Amino acid sequence: MPIRFVIVLSVLCSAALAQEQFPRVETVERQPLLSQVTRLDEALQAIGSPLDAEVHAALERLKSLADDKAVAAEVQTLLDPLCLVAIDLSGETPKVTGPGKTSELFAEGWRAFLVKVVNPEGATGGLRIDSPNAAPVPRSPADAVESRWLGLESYEGQPLRTKLSGLPLEYRIVQLYSRDVGERSATLTAAVVESDEQKDAPSGSADLKFKAVASTPVSFAVTDGGEPAMAAFEIRDALGRVYPLQSKRLAPDFFFHPQVYRATGETVQLPPGSYTVRCSRGPESIHETQSLVVEDRPVTLTYDVKRWIDTAKLNYWSGDHHIHAAGCQHYDKPTEGVLPADMLRHCKGEDLKVGCCLTWGPCFDFQKQFFTGKTDDVSEYPYLLRYDIEVSGFGSHNSGHLNLLKLKDQIYPGGDSKLHWPTLGLNTLTWAKSQGAVCGPAHSAAGLTRTVGRLEGTDGLDGPHRLPNYDIPAYDGIGANEFIVDITHEVPGPEGKLVPAVDFISTMNTDRVAEWNMWYHALNCGYRVKASGETDFPCITGERVGIGRVYAKVDGRLEFDRWVEALAAGRSYVSDGSCHLMNMTAEPAGDASRKVSLGENGSELRTVGPSSVKVRVTAAAFREGSPSLPVELIVNGYVADQQDLVADGTPRDLEFDAQLDRSSWVAVRVFPHAHTNPIFAIVDGKPIRPSKESAEWCLKGVEQCWSQKLRTYREEEREGAKTAYDHAREAYQQIIAEAEPTARPE
């Protein structure tokens, strides 16, 4: 046996004494045992009650130990001391053995413990662990109220299983809650059951002693720029356990988060002890870790947010146009998703100024009540929450989900729910655009990452990071798929005037190359679609709202309509929040009087004849170690110039030069963190046609998309779909005829 195991044993032997009366299992096949124990380790982490780092490391080391018996012995030596009870299933009735000591709980809070299961006969039913002391208090006999002080729940969620594995040895998790402070006793029972309903299974029991320490309210004092604020706090004790226990959370605290969001005056309950608290307020804040000692008196945790930048002061207002209050990670019981106040709390805590909370398939008929056609009443300036729709799980979702923002009416005519919507995305868009909505596909790269071939004759044309590239996507998913057709269409706006059917493409939350590549090709065909930033919280990720963002410029007071109009006009950049590209302008070199600002007057710079253009941007980035980041000037999808930016948080004015001999789009990016929208430089009044290959790529896309999506269109919409696709085919053929071959990158 390697020496390191001896060391671990000596560390743990004193703790092990308390559980020495537990039955031991001599041999277990090492592979399934270690796999089970690893899942236990993962589950403890997932519920915020991780194993001690030393125990975790010791378990990892067992993976290089080949002997079954040695592994079984080591596992028991490491985990038995963490067990509340051992349950031996070898006899007629389960034999429950307590730890031989008083176990510590804390009042009004949950603790997780392990349970050792010895199972020589290989039972594979469910293991019901219960206690008469955990029976409900409402409707209980008056003399039982005192003894029903305990809350008890086994954790059997992923990656654990509800049923016993049948291995001779396994460990499970049970969570206990104490209503009271002080010394208490409880009887713990165990039975193997074939179903939840089974009543008469033989059960065994043990009487256990507990001591519940009082928990203490910890209140928060949070300020940002001298104003009271909301922030994110991840609270862990010395053993790494998260508070409040994740598996017992209801909104506004989300069970899939280690962090909670708290504002000045709000509290959490913590038992006495030492804690580390990770404090943050979104990507513009400098994250910090504080130590907190809780004794028996109320304490206050003070967090004064330090920022490396405050883009709102520069009139750039962050937003996430795609977050959800229901579906995916959210629960649908005890409530159907969460409420506007819960979503706003998370936006405030991540310093996300605008949250577009989109109702979609799950809980649609419950969540639709929150749509008002204006910002929600819970909004607290400048934090704005607005309910709108993502076409997802119904209607035209199969050809690509659509974010519909700034709707006046949230439901398609002809019904009051989600089942009667059209199946052709263009039909959805036509309806939404007629009411002045701002629209674009969601999670764009879905369906664009698998490829089915490559455009002929494009050898050597791929740019750095494979942007652009000429592989033909499969169009087999739910991102910017029918998009390739819809961008070629104009539909009547609210006043009947024709407007583009698509305003923006969503970016920042899927494969960056695939989403930006689609955007570049669309721009190269002259379609002036804008980029916006989204998270699709908590579907693409449940980590937090505002992971993908758009920063839109609104001078003066922030209002949702003005913000979303800036998004549609491309007076904005997309970002993960770590990098900012503000105040972009372009002007003919030496002629500042003709300077054009991004998002103003159609972002259009007009020149006569080939000209040099000067592009300026205020760039700032903040990254650990202040590395230098390349800031690239992009012309028609390719890098035309580059400046380096020190990522120390300081905003710097950068200048770029481009020589334009034809009408072009010009933007600035920091791959993969941020991208400005484009300025359109129009040379001699000609349309932007810099790449025949881009138009050919789009035309191939129309064909591939048709092959995948035709079947998703309802019979009555087939004819319309065919017309819509034919229109796109003709549009791209026309562009191919007008366009020049792509200039080969150097």
Identify which of residues 30 and 709 has a Cβ nearer to Zn ion in the complex: 709
Closest among 280, 309, 306 to 620, alpha carbons compared:
309
Which of 16, 42, 269, 335 contacts another protein by CB under 8 A? 42
Q: Which of residues 139-158 bind another protein (CB under 8 A)?
A: 158
Token pair for 212: 């519940």
Which of 319, 538, 588, 637 contacts another protein by CB under 8 A? 538
Identify which of residues 184 and 673 has a Cβ nearer to another protein in the complex: 673
Which of 153, 511, 600, 717 contacts another protein by CB under 8 A? 511
**CB count, 10 Å around CB of 323?**
26
Which of 212, 229, 242, 446 contacts another protein by CB under 8 A? 446
Closest among 715, 658, 655 to 681, alpha carbons compared:
658
- Rounded to an integer, what distance in angstroms lies between the CA atom of residue 122 and that of residue 165? 8
- Rounded to an integer, what distance in angstroms lies between the CA atom of residue 472 and that of residue 591? 42
Residue 442 touches Zn ion, criterion: CB under 5 A: yes
Q: Which of residues 532-551 bind Zn ion (CB under 5 A)?
A: 536, 539
Closest among 629, 625, 612 to 668, alpha carbons compared:
629
Identify which of residues 122 and 494 has a Cβ nearer to another protein in the complex: 122
Identify which of residues 153 and 511 has a Cβ nearer to another protein in the complex: 511
Q: Which of Zn ion, another protein, none is residue 509 near (CB under 5 to 8 Å by kind)? A: none
Q: Is 53 helix (H, G, I), strand (E, B) or coil?
A: helix
Token pair for 353: 């100024």
Q: Which of residues 395-434 bind another protein (CB under 8 A)?
A: 397-398, 401
Q: Is 68 helix (H, G, I), strand (E, B) or coil?
A: helix
- Size, binding site for another protein by CB under 8 A: 73
Is residue 499 within 8 Å of residue 286, measured between CB atoms?
no
Identify which of residues 308 and 331 has a Cβ nearer to Zn ion in the complex: 331
**CB count, 10 Å around CB of 332?**
12
Closest among 24, 161, 4 to 83, alpha carbons compared:
24
* Amino acid letter, residue 50: P
Identify which of residues 129 and 539 has a Cβ nearer to Zn ion in the complex: 539
Q: Which of residues 356-385 bind another protein (CB under 8 A)?
A: 360-361
Identify whether 138 is preceded by a cis peptide bond (ω within 30 of 0).
no
**CB count, 10 Å around CB of 557?**
8
Residue 669 touches Zn ion, criterion: CB under 5 A: no
Which of 321, 443, 549, 571 contacts another protein by CB under 8 A? 443
- Rounded to an integer, what distance in angstroms lies between the CA atom of residue 110 and that of residue 246? 9
Which of 707, 719, 722, 737 contacts another protein by CB under 8 A? 707
- Size, binding site for Zn ion by CB under 5 A: 6
Considering only the stretches 387-395, 526-534, 647-655, 725-733, report the one whose residues sit in contact with another protein under the rule CB under 8 A: 387-395
Q: How far is the CB of 356 from Zn ion (least distance, A)?
A: 10
Considering only the stretches 341-349, 448-456, 520-528, 639-647, report the one whose residues sit in contact with another protein under the rule CB under 8 A: 448-456
Identify whether 468 is preceded by a cis peptide bond (ω within 30 of 0).
yes
Q: Which of another protein, Zn ion, none is residue 711 near (CB under 5 to 8 Å by kind)? A: another protein
Question: Helix 715-738 vs helix 692-709: angle between axes, to the nearest 10 degrees?
Answer: 170
Is residue 385 within 8 Å of residue 376, measured between CB atoms?
yes
Identify which of residues 241 and 709 has a Cβ nearer to Zn ion in the complex: 709
Residue 281 touches another protein, criterion: CB under 8 A: no
Q: Which of Zn ion, another protein, none is residue 450 near (CB under 5 to 8 Å by kind)? A: another protein
Which of 34, 343, 344, 682 contacts another protein by CB under 8 A? 34
Residue 392 touches Zn ion, criterion: CB under 5 A: yes
Q: How far is the CB of 358 from another protein (least distance, A)?
A: 11
- Rounded to an integer, what distance in angstroms lies between the CA atom of residue 634 and that of residue 658? 9
Q: How far is the CB of 287 from another protein (least distance, A)?
A: 23
**CB count, 10 Å around CB of 318?**
27
Closest among 398, 395, 355 to 375, alpha carbons compared:
355
Which of 401, 512, 580, 700 contacts Zn ion by CB under 5 A? 401
Enumerate residues 6+ apart whose C-beta is below 8 A from 593.
none
Which of 193, 221, 328, 339 contacts another protein by CB under 8 A? 328
- Rounded to an integer, what distance in angstroms lies between the CA atom of residue 695 and that of residue 688? 11
Q: Which of Zn ion, another protein, none is residue 395 near (CB under 5 to 8 Å by kind)? A: none
Binding site for Zn ion (CB under 5 A): 390, 392, 401, 442, 536, 539
